[in-house]
Amino acid sequence: MLRPLLAAALAAVTLAGPAFAQAFPAKPIELIVPYPPGGAADIIGRLAAKEMEPLLGQPVVVLNKAGAGTIIGAQAAAGAKADGYTLFISSNTTFSMNPAVHEKLPYDSARQFEPIGMVGAIGLAVLANPAAPYPTLASLVEAAKAKPGAISYASFGNATTSHFAAEMFLQRAGINLLHVPYKGSSPAMTDLIGGVVPISVDTVTATLPQLKAGKVKALAVTSARRSQFLPEVPTIAESGYAGFDLTAWVAIVAPKGLPKDARDTLRRALEKALAAPEFKAKLAQSGVEAGFLPLDDWEAFVTADTARMKAVATKANIKAE
C-alpha cells in the first residue's frame, strides 16, 4: 500500500516540477510609460522595449498611463506586483522633482521602486534669440544684474527639468529673470524664435534643428560635460559655475521587492541592449546620451537628488500646479 502512494506522490512532483522551475520571464512584460504616445519619453520606452524583447524571449508591451505630471503612471507602477512583469520608465521629473514640489504623492520614489538601470540622459541648453544682445552666458548675467527681473525666459512647463535647470542657474549666478512657463517645448521654442521671449531653457533634442537652421543660439549646456550633440557649446560649469550639473536622466525601475532572478535577468537584458551600437544610435536620434548604470544605491541616490531639487524649489518658490 505504501509503495503505490509513494509512486503516485513522486509522479505528481515530477509533473509539477517544470511549472515550479519555469525560468523568468514566462509571459509578456509590461513597461509603463507615464506620458502620451509620440513624445520623447514614449519613443525611448518603445525603443528599449523592442531591444529587450529578443534578449528576454518575451514581448515587452508598452502601456501609456499619462497624466498629472507622470503621477498616474508612477502610482500604477508602484502599486503593481513585484514579480518582474511590470516595469516603469521615467525621468527625474517623476523621481525627484515631483517629490520636491508636492507635499503629498501617491507613491514614494525612493522606497517603492528598485532600479533595473539608468538608460541615459537628455541634456538641456540655455538658448537665446539670435537678435538678443547676449552672445555668451557671461553677457546674459551682466545684463540681468544691471536690470533685475527685466529679462524673461521660457521653460517648457512649471516644475519641469527646464524650469529647475534655469532656476538652479539663476541661484548660482545671483540673478533674477522673469519666468514664462509654456505648455510644452514646441510653443516655448516658437516664441523664442519669434522674439516673444529672448531666453529659454530647452532640451538638446529640441535645440539641434533650430540651432542648425540659425534660428536660435546656444549659450551653454546644463550637463557636467559638453553634449556629444553640441560639442562646440560650453557647459555652465565651464562658464564659471563649477560643479553645475542638471540633466533629464531616464531610468527603468520596477516595484520594490523583485525576486533576484527576475532583477538579474532584466538588468542583464537592459545592459546588453544599451551596449549595442544600433540601440545607442537610435537613442541618439532622440537626443539621449545612452549609458547603463545599475544604480544599486537607488534609495540614497533619489533621496539626495530630491533634497537637491527641494532646495532649488524652496528658494525659487516652485510649486506644483
Spans of all domains in the chain: 25-121+249-316, 124-221
Cβ atoms 128, 216 nearer than 8 A: yes
In this prediction, residue 38 has a pLDDT band, given cuts at 50, 70 and 90, of confident
DSSP 69: G
Collect all residues with Cβ–Cβ distance below 8 Å to 226 and sequence separation of at least 6: 233, 234, 235, 238
Three-state secondary-structure class, residue 219 = strand
* Sign of the alpha-carbon torsion through 81, 84, 85, 88: positive
Q: Residue 17: what pLDDT? A: 44
Tell whether the model's pLDDT for residue 13 goes beyond 50. Answer: no
Q: What are 226-264's pLDDT values in tens digits?
A: 999 999 999 999 999 999 999 999 999 999 999 999 999
Q: List beta partners, residue 128.
A: 199, 217
Collect all residues with Cβ–Cβ distance below 8 Å to 241 and sequence separation of at least 6: 169, 172, 173
Q: CA 233 → CA 214, 220, 227, 242, 265, distances in Å?
A: 14, 6, 8, 16, 39
Return d(Cα 241, Cα 303) in angstroms, integer.
Answer: 24
Q: List beta partners, residue 250.
A: 91, 120
Three-state secondary-structure class, residue 140 = helix
C-alpha cell at 77: 507602477
Q: Residue 294: what pLDDT? A: 96
| pLDDT mean over 9-36 | 72
Q: Residue 39: what pLDDT? A: 78
Cβ atoms 77, 32 nearer than 8 A: yes
Run of H or E including 138: helix 137-146
Domain 25-121+249-316: which CATH number of 3.30.70.20, 3.40.50.720, 3.40.1390.30, 3.40.190.150 = 3.40.190.150
Q: What are 160-203's pLDDT values in tens digits?
A: 999 999 999 999 999 999 999 998 899 999 999 999 999 999 99
* Torsion angle defined by CA atoms of residues 116, 100, 45 and 224, in that order, rounded to the nearest 10 degrees: -80
Collect all residues with Cβ–Cβ distance below 8 Å to 9 and sequence separation of at least 6: none
Average pLDDT score over the chain:
93
Q: Residue 5: what pLDDT? A: 45
Collect all residues with Cβ–Cβ distance below 8 Å to 130 and sequence separation of at least 6: 214, 215, 216, 217
Q: Residue 321: what pLDDT? A: 79
| pLDDT mean over 33-49 | 90
In this prediction, residue 75 has a pLDDT band, given cuts at 50, 70 and 90, of very high
Tell whether the model's pLDDT for residue 41 goes beyond 90. Answer: no
Q: Residue 12: what pLDDT? A: 46
Tell whether the model's pLDDT for residue 11 goes beyond 60. Answer: no
C-alpha cell at 210: 533650430
Q: Residue 63: what pLDDT? A: 97
| pLDDT mean over 100-120 | 97
Phi and psi torsions of 235, nearest 5°: -85, 165
In this prediction, residue 46 has a pLDDT band, given cuts at 50, 70 and 90, of very high
Domain boundaries 124-221, CATH class: alpha beta
Tell whether the model's pLDDT for residue 215 goes beyond 50. Answer: yes
Same topology, domains 25-121+249-316 and 124-221? Answer is yes
Tell whether the model's pLDDT for residue 1 goes beyond 70. Answer: no
Tell whether the model's pLDDT for residue 16 goes beyond 60. Answer: no
Tell whether the model's pLDDT for residue 24 goes beyond 60. Answer: yes
Q: Residue 9: what pLDDT? A: 45
Tell whether the model's pLDDT for residue 285 goes beyond 90. Answer: no
Cβ atoms 140, 219 nearer than 8 A: yes
